[in-house]
Structure 1
């Protein structure tokens, strides 16, 4: 009951005119930052961090600046779905999984359904996460501490297992795509010895590795446009989008079909989000994979399934709040964006850690109250702007294609300020186009390069510390996760062998 009273007092403080205005401003800025390919919440919060000193000078405390940055974070998580659906370019790595089904829905003239599902699922995911954050922060923080390197690797292995079937029925091509992505994730310097590895042709640009946004924007920006141009020969069904009260009402009703993906994404997102170094991107990918695996109609995913939009959007918004928990209770950032927020808190004289809730309640509870308010503002602003986002889809194809190319180039350069990455993004786009022409799934490769940099160091550090693989099976948390992952990885291959055996048996009986 004390928690409810503290939360109520915090919401009242967050609703004060200045704090409410900052929340609205932060959400709107974050929405467009998240929609801009290459920026995302990390860059948005980092760019706006100096502006918070002006806010602190006016307000006289650290609460208002943090409310503003948290609102930018919320808005950016919502905004990532906009360009994923409307243009086929992930606004950030957290929105890559949204592209899998959001883009096909847009091509079918159902972008309003995808955007409405993304907005409402984001709201649901963030709401569930806020409630769990409020009620169980200290307890869940202690659970997060129990996750060492073996548990993190087991979780990454489970994530691989959930998307092992994303490539469709051609299991060998899916495995090849995953291995190819893992190889790309290993480019750069060895994490243990520090020696360079896979530096192709001794080009120094590869020394920092192949960055994820380079891969994502190339494949889902350049490659997607080339594929659409080749398939439609200059004509596109994206322009067949009607905006009316009836269509928006229908989109709202259709969201009822996505309740399962929303629930799965909300739960998975929060628990993955609270793990240090995991973050919203693995959460959204795992949620998509689990939702597809548990669906009775898994073949519909990747072709325009509403659940395929709702699950990753609920997960990445749930994970964004979950990542705040280790930052505030342990002083450990749960994602790159919360690392920037942690820096801001330290600058403002706050000490994140176990004593923050008791030593700084006047800061903690208004901030938590602002999570609820920013989430509510974000869903209203997002739904109100859907007609504006759909306007992009009504543009002539001759304008849309150059716009996507320009945004891809500008977004990549803005993210890394490096022309090598821009050229690499173009080459990746061409490579992704030819992979699709040869019927190789690109999604598993993209997802592997996300999880590779997390899985490899945790695996190698575990083996260096324990010197045995059995540790993944004997630890109480890592063991069940590892066994479950292995079973799920083997299932697609077993199903393939079963179908071939039945087909051979039927053929023999026919003769």
Structure 2
């Protein structure tokens, strides 16, 4: 009952005129920041942080949190309509969102993304409200062995992302891991894989540059090659009846992906330094791995949109939990929010809930309100987003190319990355041309920089003994499950090969 009383006071605080205005403005700004390639929530919050000193601290953090929420919703828009991930958190949405748009079902993809985001956000906020302190201490118990075991489980789900051709999938993963290793070694500080001694490779390969190249330039080239520029799209009409019909369809076909994404995304989000991107990618992999029709993923499966969108919104709330309760940011965006709170004289940590209850519960109340308004604003703008697809492909292709170039440059402010992005676009096109899965390579370059240092740190802790991954109470079960998941496709392949001769004989 005490939690309900505090939450009621928090909702009342969030619904004050100034805070409500901050929420609506923040969600609207965040929506467009999220859909612009190369910006994302990190840059949006960082750019707008100075403006918040014009309002009280409570309203300021509510405004920045609303931008964060809006950007999580907005990232799916350009992923679905143009095939360009608005942010790294929306890359997994491209896998099935873009095929749906090319099939003339952009509206159902956008409605699914909005509804799944709302469901994921709501589930995570409820979990946040009820279990914040204990979950924070669980997250704190995750050391390098536990995080590596979790990344190993994510890699285990990758094998299912490339279809039945396991060798091509493994090769794609290895290619992504090689690209993830470019730059300076985090432990020794030595440069490695700096191709042709080009200085631009010293800072490594930015994930967003690779994603925009493969899913922006590469998708544009693939569309030109396969459709000769004739791309179908949905009508730019939106009625309340249409919203209700699409919502029913996405709930009926995407409830499983929403459930997986909501809970898995929140759990990954509370882990320090994990964030929404690994959460959305893992949710997509688990949804496909547990699906009865995994072959439909990548071809326009509604579950393939629902799972990552629910996960990235759930993870965004989850990443707030260690920031508020322990003072440890769960993502790059919450690191900026943490800095802002310190500037405003607030000290994140265990005592924040007792010392500043009005601030904390006002912020939690704003999560509920922001989530609701983000859904309304997103659904309202869907006709505008679909209208973009009605343009002639000659104009649309030029727009995709320009946005990709701008997004690639905005990510690092380096022309080296723009040229690299163009190369990735050509590479992604030829990989698809020769039927190599690109999703595992993209996912490997995300989790590689997390998995490698934690593996090496774990082995340093155990003096080189790999049993550390099996003997620790949390890491052990996760590692065993990951190994089983890795072996299952191989066992299936062996079983099919043994069955084939007997079938021919009969």
Tell me the TM-score range normalised by the shorter chain. over 0.9
RMSD in angstroms over aligned alpha carbons? 0.9
Cα deviations across residues 153-188 of structure 1 (Å, max 9, x unaligned)?
000000111121101111000000001100100000
2:416 to 420, 423, 429: 420
1:84 to 79, 83, 98: 79
Aligned partner of 1:43 in structure 2 is 43
2:484 to 473, 487, 497: 487
Q: Tell whether the 8 Å contact from 2:298 to 2:304 is kept in structure 1 after alignment.
A: yes
Q: Tell whether the 8 Å contact from 1:111 to 1:241 is kept in structure 2 after alignment.
A: no
Aligned partner of 1:58 in structure 2 is none
1:470 to 464, 467, 470: 467
Q: Report 1:70-469 matches (<5 A).
A: 70-238=65-233, 240-245=234-239, 246-255=241-250, 256-467=252-463, 468-469=465-466
What is the distance in 1 between the residues matched to 2:61 and 2:264?
26
What is the distance in 1 between the residues matched to 2:271 and 2:386?
36
What is the distance in 2 between the residues matched to 1:257 and 1:170?
27
Q: Tell whether the 8 Å contact from 1:241 to 1:393 is kept in structure 2 after alignment.
A: no
What is the distance in 1 between the residues matched to 2:221 and 2:489?
31
User: CA 1:31 to 1:244, structure 2 compared with 1: closer, same or farther past 3 Å?
Assistant: closer
Does the residue aligned with 1:165 lie in a helix, a strand or coil? helix
Structure 1 residue 249 displacement after superposition: 3.5
Greater shift in the superposed pair: 241-250 or 362-371: 241-250
Structure 1 residue 457 displacement after superposition: 0.5
Structure 1 residue 248 displacement after superposition: 3.4
What is the distance in 2 between the residues matched to 1:409 and 1:266?
33
Give the TM-score normalised by structure 1.
0.97
Structure 1 residue 401 displacement after superposition: 0.1
What count of residue pairs does the alignment treat as equivalent? 503
Does the residue aligned with 1:164 lie in a helix, a strand or coil? helix
Does the residue aligned with 2:160 lie in a helix, a strand or coil? coil
1:501 to 494, 498, 501: 498
Structure 1 residue 242 displacement after superposition: 4.7
Structure 1 residue 327 displacement after superposition: 0.3
Cα deviations across residues 62-101 of structure 1 (Å, max 9, x unaligned)?
1000000000000000000000000001100000000010
Aligned partner of 1:9 in structure 2 is 9
Structure 1 residue 344 displacement after superposition: 0.4
What is the distance in 2 between the residues matched to 1:177 and 1:135?
41
What is the distance in 2 between the residues matched to 1:50 and 1:424?
33
Q: Tell whether the 8 Å contact from 2:236 to 2:383 is kept in structure 1 after alignment.
A: no
What is the distance in 2 between the residues matched to 1:496 and 1:254?
35
Q: Tell whether the 8 Å contact from 1:110 to 1:241 is kept in structure 2 after alignment.
A: no
Structure 1 residue 250 displacement after superposition: 2.7
Structure 1 residue 251 displacement after superposition: 1.4
Give the TM-score normalised by structure 2.
0.98
Cα deviations across residues 172-231 of structure 1 (Å, max 9, x unaligned)?
000000011001000001111111100000000000001100100000000000000000
Does the residue aligned with 1:166 lie in a helix, a strand or coil? helix
What is the distance in 2 between the residues matched to 1:244 and 1:353?
46
Does the residue aligned with 1:462 lie in a helix, a strand or coil? helix
Structure 1 unaligned blocks of 5 or more: 56-60
Cα deviations across residues 1-43 of structure 1 (Å, max 9, x unaligned)?
1111011001101100010001000000000000001111001
Does the residue aligned with 2:470 lie in a helix, a strand or coil? helix
What is the distance in 2 between the residues matched to 1:414 and 1:199?
22
